[in-house]
Amino acid sequence: MITKLMVIQKINEDGTVDVFQITSNNFQWTFENRRTKTESDSDYFPFELFGELNILKRRPGAETRTYIKENEITFCDDYGVPGGTVVGILFPQNYIPDIIKFKDKPYIPVGFAGQVVTQTPGQIQILYNKLERRSAIIFNLHDNIVFGFKCIAKFVSDDLFPRNESVIADDLFDISLSREFLNVEAITNDDLKLINDTLNQADISDIKDTLNELLTAVKSGQKEKSKSLLNKVGQILLNGTSVASSLTTIADSYKVGGTAQQFIGRIIDYVSL
């Protein structure tokens, strides 16, 4: 890959972040996935850079935030970058992206003439190095853009670390709601007992019906409908609680249940992120 501007954000196990800002007229970068780190490799390996480089190592800005829980790291950031930028988010050993979420920043409502045309500003990749047990999210950004990003990365054992050299999801929704949960038959009232006990003002029937619609839409590959239903579930849950921490507590409780409960937990994780 060739670029002129790259930013590597290396997340450490203690939640601190080292930022490497690299510029050059043109330089090549790659993500090594077939070897382990040597003494001559940089701190941001498996990323490897070639060319005459200007590298600035700095602390992250105030907009960069990380939260540590047992076997889980939440990473949040806001980006404002010129077109042609490559952003690499490098996770600690044995951590892989589990749930990711983007947020558009509103446009300044002046100067629009006629129909506004939108286009995808770039591509996202998830890369893995099985030997080093390191993973990274890559943003290849074509246009000037300002956006927000949030991610939950989970710790996995060596055996469960992905073997894929490079995984490119065909849709962001496929990354956020893993297909391993698509064998869930249906969501029942019993599955929602934890929500009912905590959010007794919520309409459990509405939540159940919407979750089952979402499950059907995900299984049938209806991506736009899935996103719409996911937003609807989020609105119902957020209307039922005054603090996001309540949703986080519920999600943690669901993670020890069966497949249906884990699916609900992932939905709540996404909503509360």
SS3 content of the chain, % helix, strand, coil (to 5): 25, 35, 40
CATH of the domain at 63: 2.60.40
Verify that 186 and 224 share a domain, yes or no.
Answer: yes
- Identify any residues that bridge with 129 across adjacent strands, giving them in sequence order: 134
Residue 173 lies in a domain: no
- Give the pLDDT score at 112: 64
- Give the pLDDT score at 6: 97
Q: What is the DSSP secondary-structure string of 169-209?
A: -SSHHHHHS-GGGTT-----TGGGHHHHHH-TTS-HHHHHH
- Give the pLDDT score at 256: 74
Q: Give dist(CA 46, CA 23) in Å, integer.
A: 18
Taking 70 as the pLDDT cut, the residues of the chain under it are 111-119, 164-183, 198-203, 240-245
Residue 75 lies in a domain: yes
- Give the pLDDT score at 54: 95
- Supply the range of the domain harboring residue 148: 2-168
Type of residue numbered 120: T
What b/e string do you get for 241-266 counting C-beta neighbours within 10 Å, with b at 16 or more?
beeeebbbebbebbeeeeebbbbbbb
Residue 211 lies in a domain: yes
* Element holding 234 (H helix, E strand): helix 223-239
Verify that 257 and 195 share a domain, yes or no.
Answer: yes
Q: Count of domains in the chain?
A: 2
- Give the pLDDT score at 223: 76
- Predicted model pTM: 0.82
Torsions phi, psi of 222, nearest 5?
Answer: -85, 85
pLDDT tens-digit readout, 70-81: 899 999 999 999
Residue 98 lies in a domain: yes
Residue with tokens 């490119």: 168
Q: Give dist(CA 123, CA 222) in Å, integer.
A: 21
Q: For residue 211, give Cα distances in angstroms to 191, 198, 203, 262.
A: 11, 18, 12, 13
- Give the pLDDT score at 31: 95
Q: Give dist(CA 196, CA 200) in Å, integer.
A: 5
Residue 158 lies in a domain: yes
